[in-house]
Amino acid sequence: MLKTKKILVTGGAGFLGSHLCEQLLKSEHEVLCVDNYFTGNKANILHLLDNPRFELMRHDVTFPLYVEVDEIYNLACPASPIHYQHDPVQTTKTSVHGAINMLGLAKRVGAKILQASTSEVYGDPSMHPQREDYWGNVNPIGVRSCYDEGKRCAETLFFDYHRQHSLRIKIMRIFNTYGPRMHPQDGRVVSNFIVQALKGEPITIYGDGSQTRSFCFVDDLVKGMISLMGSADEFVGPVNIGNPNEFTIKQLAEVIIDQTGSKSELVFNPLPSDDPKQRRPDISLANSELNWFPQIELEEGVSKTIEYFRKIV
């Protein structure tokens, strides 16, 4: 019989966090959702508020938190360029101070803790696809560095707590993820294209559209996250969680135009600074250690995401 755990999810009112909270509740766990609503939205978790095993707390992880929990999923951090560049100092603080505070909490209460890291730790990669043993090609002083280097430093802190204090840690590197509850103004390519297509506006492509991304549907991502947390203590990661099927940005735009029936035209603008040309995970480690494979193809996932955005746009 599954043991009920008390589980803390930081950033729990965000896009990924709300889906994670929902899935943990389905597994009969008690969930403490913590968010400061910088990018999270209470609407994402309104349907969970009546559940007696769900608790919501407004809190900023850059300040210490004193609670009793068995596991911690540390997801708190703005994850889209528009949001993390809005207040870059706070973004770095959220990654670094947030990691210190959550690691300190895990150490005090003996909790297992998972860090939601990112494929951005690889920067603009010279290895393709990206494996976990690749150290990355990151600009430490660019406009995206607050996010990239903040997440890299958080990984360092997690491993140092693991080595120095024998803390039970898990690190996952999340690749492009999409699905219902994405913020319509988060500036990410899937939400941007869907909103523009539904409004009949020109679809804005940065560069010539030949840069590639791999898109993982949120349900697959959450399953990978929970599998990692439940894996043997000896396996700490980092492990890539993402969909290895690679598409150009132009191909994504064409899929969305087709599925929305939009008459939007493609418009090409200059590529932003430090925007990676390629992004595709090598998920061999997730396959072998977690028996995890993404199940939902782009066309199916985009269809579910469009259905969500039709209701809110």
What's the pLDDT at 309? 94
pLDDT range class, residue 186, cuts 50, 70, 90: confident
What's the pLDDT at 184? 84
What's the pLDDT at 101? 98
Q: Are 201 and 266 in contact (CB under 8 A)?
A: no
Residue 77 has pLDDT above 90, yes or no: no
Q: Choose the weakest-confidence range: 140-154, 270-284, 285-299.
A: 270-284
Q: Which residues are catalytic?
A: 147
**Between residues 212 and 235, the one the model is more confident about:** 235
pLDDT range class, residue 1, cuts 50, 70, 90: low
Residue 240's closest CA among 178, 278, 285, 276? 285
What's the pLDDT at 212? 86
- Number of other CB atoms surrounding residue 265 within 10 Å: 10
Instruction: Give the CA diameter of the chain.
Output: 58
Distance from C-alpha of 215 to C-alpha of 198, rounded to nearest angstrom: 20
What's the pLDDT at 271? 76
Output the average pLDDT for the chain.
92
Distance from C-alpha of 196 to C-alpha of 192, rounded to nearest angstrom: 6
Given the candidates 3.40.630.30, 1.10.3720.10, 3.20.20.70, 3.40.50.720, the CATH classification of the domain at 6-177+217-243+280-294 is 3.40.50.720
pLDDT range class, residue 273, cuts 50, 70, 90: low
Sign of the C-alpha dihedral computed for residues 157, 162, 163 and 165 taken in this order: positive
Q: Choose the weakest-confidence range: 11-25, 216-230, 262-276, 281-295.
A: 262-276
Residue 79 has pLDDT above 90, yes or no: no
Residue 179 has pLDDT above 70, yes or no: yes
Q: What is the mean pLDDT of residues 96-116?
A: 97
Residue 274 has pLDDT above 70, yes or no: no
What's the pLDDT at 275? 65
Question: pLDDT tens for residues 23-54?
Answer: 999 999 999 999 999 888 999 999 999 999 99
pLDDT range class, residue 158, cuts 50, 70, 90: very high
pTM, entire model: 0.92
Question: pLDDT tens for residues 221-265?
Answer: 999 999 999 999 999 999 999 999 999 999 999 999 999 999 888
